[in-house]
Chains A and B, each alone.
Chain A
Amino acid sequence: MTELSAHLPQFQHGQLTENFPDNHLSNTNDNSERRRHDNNERRRNDNPESETNGQPQNNIQQVVEQDEEEDEELTLKYGAKHVIMLFVPVTLCMVVVVATIKSVSFYTRKDGQLIYTPFTEETETVGQRALNSILNAAIMISVIIVMTILLVVLYKYRCYKVIHGWLIISSLLLLFFFSFIYLGEVFKTYNVAMDYITVALIIWNFGVVGMICIHWKGPLRLQQAYLIMISALMALVFIKYLPEWTAWLILAVISVYDLVAVLCPKGPLRMLVETAQERNETLFPALIYSSTMIWLVNMAEEDPEAQRKASKNSSYDKQAPANQTQNEDAEADDGGFSREWQQQRDNRIGPIESTPESRAAVQALPSNSQTSEDPEERGVKLGLGDFIFYSVLVGKASATASGDWNTTLACFVAILIGLCLTLLLLAIFKKALPALPISITFGLVFYFATDNLVQPFMDQLAFHQFYI
């Protein structure tokens, strides 16, 4: 398998980096959208204040404000549903990864390392190993940072073709190549005989349908399923090719980086989000998981209605239909689904002001479509990179922990709680937030704690059959 490793880097490279920025991005998008959807009953008291923060930007009368507030409450009431809508795919992804790790031994065999992690971890001394893993992590992180900045630059200078091409190549690679390997390994594990022709047919169909679903139109469930599958595949590759300490270090550093990149004013991801907002554009397709998709016949019609309502904060929605003409490809479609709900409440005072021309153009369109969907149709979005890293954490926990299932369970619960808390913070701050740090921190803490502390305890208890 070593020869494969050589191929992997190049593509992974592309996939990696586009995932990361997008994961943050989508989070930021999500977050701004999600703050509405957030459930958590706790701290509802804060919401009135946060609403009043938005008020100054509001230049519409009291009536609309009143409506807004009521709508706001309505939204928040349904928030729990959206958290669950995120729980389910994250859980599914983790389950797939854990199931694969447990059954297919390929992913736990050490077959060499990626080109990005050149230092081996099988050294004689602990110190040497630590040093190597730190270096590995540093290299990986710098690669990610470079790719993110590259992506931001490309986006800023409107080199959309390049970005599209990059995305398409990497999703092609994932869908065909990695799933071929995966399928092969599963067949080997279960000793199923299969000829090449059948495999080719299966993989071809799988890949093509996947490409269509992700980059273009397709049934929502299918698209979600495909996104989950490619996240799981990616996570499996990481689990296989990253050595132990490096993996944990990378997880830790990535969450710090995520925090920094999204929240710092000069962070690349923040710039990306703001640029997207200014241009009223959607972010990249195929890198964001969305929980609902309302099919949009004519997206531009949203705008008039959107403008009618007040907006609170310019950092909310980005995917504006205003630039439909610019991106008539998958991007617009993908972004459109979650934008549907924006109809009821717009929160785009900033972007609207910045593109008065587009607004005028849109207003000229017939605004007869009511396309009023009920509030429950609103979707929540999460970046695929988040899926990947959560699954990497849980997968590594199940692969290499001495406490096996206990540790896996503990990490799983920790990640879910982290996700809840992130959404809660989202509701409070109403800003773009990174989804990684809290969950990964909890996950790491629980992993190490459970593995080293709880496991001996539980073993002893089980041995004596004591129950606590």
Chain B
Amino acid sequence: SPARELTQNPLQKTWEPYDNGLPAGHSAQRGVCMTNCPTLIVMVGLPARGKTYISKKLTRYLNWIGVPTKEFNVGQYRRDLVKKYKSFEFFLPDNEEGLKIRKQCALAALNDVRQYLSEENGHVAVFDATNTTRERRETIYKFCEENGYKTFFVESVCVDPEVIAANIVQVKLGSPDYVDCSNDEATEDFMKRIECYKNSYETLDETLDKDLSYIKIMDVGRSYLVNRVMDHIQSRIVYYLMNIHVTPRSIYLCRHGESELNLKGRIGGDPGLSVRGKEFAKSLAQFINEQNIKDLKVWTSQMKRTIQTAEALGVPYEQWKVLNEIDAGVCEEMTYEEIQENYPLEFALRDQDKYRYRYPKGESYEDLVQRLEPVIMELERQENVLVICHQAVMRCLLAYFLDKPAEQLPYLKCPLHTVLKLTPVAYG
């Protein structure tokens, strides 16, 4: 049979085969992560080991790179069922009533997982609970097998009392469970809660669990044990988990100073700074000095306007080509009026789906996210960083940090001459 004809999708500018005017199968867009079957990530670990922190962060990352992911916090199910938390006694291993409720919650959560992965087109679900016994993990594993999901365990092991104490202060004291308690009461109760789990805790074992796929994180990332990574998405998850850290730091995002083309209302190009743009650069230098930031790294794109801005700071900076502004293709250096006049269809399409819309011979926000992934990964590795970039780029980075979905990303407000200072706090 002859090769099928190709038609170009007007929004994304991708070539698709069609039969009788309808898009046909056979070709898939390589998103960043192609998952063949859904994956359930199962968290494992005693309370206050960072499971929820990891769950939320991982979920945020996977969604940002385009893998539909959702987390299911069993503790939340428990809070919905048992309206008022009384004390750690709920978690005692011999509390029949407690055990029954907790199992019920786990099963309810798994049911929602099934709905998300099998009916709602989710690709990855994160099951956030202690899952400290082999028996519980068996149950979950069987559930996955029955439904055709892959299982990947993420265990967090930590014995450092300081880390645990810090976790409790950061996220437990403010929990709805302890809304009526003093800090001391809450801490005492929570420590007893942890004790309830300790006796039955069965850590992932090199021999007993050798056929499972998992990563064991020791001491907040000092070392890792990785077993049987099965596919691309698991490999990406492992890479991500190995690059994140919890050292306090701040990330500063801003755009270049106002450029000559900004003044004319033209997009793209590689212009230099306007007079006001240069003033901004000087103010930025002053601001950075006042902030007194320890070991600040400065990153720019490879476009003149960000480099000029960085030059005013008088400190070493690194240029990343991948931080360049979105490529507007044939619309480069045009004003929006000119675009509307010359390419009315394009102009309309862009407003329809700004995230996926790709300029002819240019890029889309979706392309930008893929291009920026190494930046995000390196931002995770680093500590204090100032990123001087561009409007579309900054929107993508901001969406990652603030967990904004694709629909909102292209409309995030990133005005010129404004610095956004991001500091990780609790789960966000």
Q: Do A and B come from one complex?
A: no
A residues adjacent to B (C-beta < 8 A): none
